[in-house]
Chain A
Amino acid sequence: MAKPNVIVDGVRGLSSPIEAAAAVEGEPSARVIEVNFDGGGSGNLELKDHRSVVWADVLDNIRHSNQSVYVEIDPQTNIITEVLVPLSVKVGVITPLDNDDVEVELTISQAKHYLRRSNPDFQRLLDALKKAKDEDKDVLVTEALNTHDIIDLRPIPNPMAPAEVITPPSVSEAPKLVPISPQKAQELFDMVKSKTCCPASAAAPCIPFLYPEDGCWGRAHEMCRLMIAAGSQPDKVWIYGNLKTPSANSPNCIVEWRWYVAPTVQVAGSGIQVIDPSLFNGPVTEVAWKGAQGDPSAALVPTNASVFHRSFSGSVSYDDPAYTRTNQVLNNYRNQLKIRSVSPSGPPPYIKCLTTPAGVQWFGTIGPNSTARWYTWGWPAKWHVFWTIMPITHCPGGPQLTWTVEMEMANETQCTYWITVKNLTGDPVRFEGRYDVLSK
C-alpha cells in the first residue's frame, strides 16, 4: 500500500501566510501557508518549521514549471511534514542484487537507484517498475532524501508529447578546433564555476554544482552554452562504468554513478581538458577526470557539445535549442539541493566528510540570518591568539559571515574565547573557526 497521507501532484497555488485555527484551545494559533494541489488536495506549511520557507519556494517553483511534487501530510493536523521532488523518468534495466535489493536504471539519470527489500511496498513497487519498463512509459519516481532508495512510483498526471529528437541535426563540416591557452581554459572554468548555486536559495540561472549525485547532463549542457556564448568551442566527454567518487557535497561522502558527462576544451600544449567544477578546482586531463571516478575499466566516449544525452547503448538525443530540457534538469536539481539544505543533513559540505586542517578549532553551522556564539576554553592566557571565521559553504554574491571575539580570564593562567558569528544571508552556512597563535 502506498502511504495514505502522500500526495504526488501539481501545485495549483499557495496562499499568503495566514493564521491557522489553534490546535489546542487557549494556545496561540500558528502562521501557515496553505498549499492547494491540482487534484483538489491541500496541506499547510507551518512557518515555525524552519524548512517551510524553502519548501514554499520549491512548491511555488514547481507550480510555475508545471511539474509535480511529493508531499507527506499529517492526517491529524493537515501539516506538510515532507517535501520531495519526483524524477520524471523512464524505467530501464532492473537488476537483482546479491542482498535481495534491486538496482533500477532510470532514464535520464546518472545516479544508481535502488528498491530495497526492506521497503514494505517492495513487491508493489517492483511490479510497477516492471510494468513501466514494459510499457516504456514516463513515470514519476520519488526517492528518499540522500539515499536514492525508491519510495514511490506513479504515472505522470499529464504527460507531454515526447520532445526528444533522435536523429542528428544536419551539420556542415565542423570548423577545425583552435586550441585555447591554459589561461583561457582556466578563465572558462572560473566563469562557469561562478554560476554555483547557493544551497538553500538556489535560483535560476545558477548551476547546482553542490548537488553532485545527479543532473550532470543538464549542468554540462548549460556549461557548454555559457562557453559557446563566450566564444569558445567546447565538446563533451561521457564516461560509463561502475563509477564512484568521494564528495564532501554528498551527506554520504561518496557519490555513485552509472555514467557521467562534462564539457571539454582543446588546450594548447596539454590536449583535451575537462571542465568539471563538481569534481575539480580547475581544468584537468581526461585521465585525471577518469581516475577520480574509481573504475579503471570505465569507457570514455567523446561527442560534440550538441549531444544532450547519450545512453549506455549509444543512442543519443541531440540539441536542446531552446534549452527547455536543460532548464528543467537544472530546475529539478536546484530544488533537490534546496530541500536537502534545510533537511537534517543541512547544507553542503558535510563535516563528517572533511578532515580538520591545521589551525581550525571547530566546524560550525549557522542558520539563515542568525547569530550564534561558541566558546573555547583552557587557552594559555599569555599566548597571543587571533580568531577568524571562514565559510566553507559556497555562496557567491555577497558577504556571508561576520564575527566578534570576547575574552574571559578564567583563572590566573587560562582564558576562554567567546566567538559570536553572524550569518548575513538567507542560507544556512557552514564554516571553519580558525585560530593563529602569534606568540607564546
Chain B
Amino acid sequence: MSTGVQWTGSLGPGETKRWFTWGWNPALHVIWYMMPTTPKSGSPELSWEVAVERANATQCTYWITVKNLTNIQLSFEGRYAVLS
C-alpha cells in the first residue's frame, strides 16, 4: 500500500466544491480521504464524496466533492491510498 497527498484545497464557511484528478490507472484500487489542516475542535469539519469516471481502458478520473461543515475558512489535504 502507498499513500500520498494529491492536492491541498481550501473552502469558505459552509462551502462545497468539487475537484477532479485524472490519468489514474484503473487497475489500481485507490481510496480518497480528506484531512483538515485548519484546526477547529468540537465538531466535524469536512465531509466528502467520491465519484469515478472511466475515460478509457487505461485511464480513469476521480471526482471528489468536499463540503465544509463549519462556519470558518478551512484548508485541507486531499489524500489517497493505493490499496493494490
Contact = CB atoms under 8 A, between A and B. Distances in A.
A436 B63 contact: no
B55 A396 contact: yes
Interface in A122-155: none
A245 interface: no
Nearest to A434: B29
- SS class, residues of chain B in contact with chain A: strand
B84 interface: yes
B17 interface: no
Given A359-B29, A400-B53, A402-B49, A438 B83 contact: yes
A396 B83 contact: no
B62 to A, nearest CB: 8
A390 B52 contact: yes
A359 B27 CA distance: 10
19 contacts: A194-B56, A277-B56, A281-B56, A281-B57, A386-B83, A388-B29, A388-B31, A390-B26, A390-B52, A390-B54, A391-B52, A392-B54, A394-B57, A396-B56, A398-B53, A399-B20, A399-B53, A400-B54, A436-B31
Contacts of A357: 27
Interface string A389-417: 11111111111111000000000000000
- SS class, residues of chain A in contact with chain B: loop
A196 B60 CA distance: 14
Interface in A235-273: none
A424 interface: yes
Contacts of A390: 26, 52, 54, 60
A193 interface: yes
A394 B25 CA distance: 14
Contact of A395 (B20, B30, B53, B57): B53
B54 A394 contact: yes
Interface of A: 193-194, 196, 277, 281-282, 357-359, 386, 388-402, 424, 434, 436, 438
Ordered nearest first, which 4 A-B pairs have the shortest CB separation?
Answer: A399-B51, A436-B83, A391-B54, A399-B63
A436 B83 CA distance: 7
B41 interface: no
Contact of B56 (A394, A402, A434, A436): A394
Contacts of A359: 29, 84
Given A386-B83, A402-B51, 8 more contacts: A196-B56, A390-B60, A394-B54, A395-B53, A399-B53, A399-B61, A400-B51, A400-B54
Nearest to A360: B29
Contacts of A392: 54
Contacts of B52: 389-391, 399-402
